[in-house]
Amino acid sequence: MSGGHFNYEQYKLKDIADKIDEDVLFASRHKKDEYGYDPYLPPEVRREMRKLEKMLRKMYAIVHDYDWWFSGDSDKESFMRRMKKLK
């Protein structure tokens, strides 16, 4: 596999999920930064951000398995197992 079926683009989903994780941690602070910005967000907003992060991580896993399948590194059975597991 050289660049995979999607040329490694599925990793962008993981990178976005990682960034949302960082944002949630940052948003739980009650301390203003040097510019006077208060990053705090209420718990209900942070919970929704976590839901989005989880969805993105699931999508990454599915797309990654699909990539492996269409690149010849896996098979359709592995892809189908992942799809059933993540529903």
pLDDT digits (tens, 9 = 90+) for 39-71: 899 999 999 999 999 999 999 999 999 999 998
Could you give the CA distance from residue 63 to residue 52 in angstroms, rounded to a whole number? 16
Mean pLDDT confidence for 4-30: 93
Q: Band the pLDDT of 29: cuts 50, 70, 90.
A: confident
Q: Which long-range contacts (CB under 8 A, 24 or more apart) does 17-21 make?
A: 17/53, 17/56, 17/57, 17/60, 20/49, 20/50, 20/52, 20/53, 20/56, 21/53
Domain boundaries, the chain: 11-86
pLDDT above 70 covers a percentage of the chain that reads 95
What is the pTM assigned to this prediction? 0.84
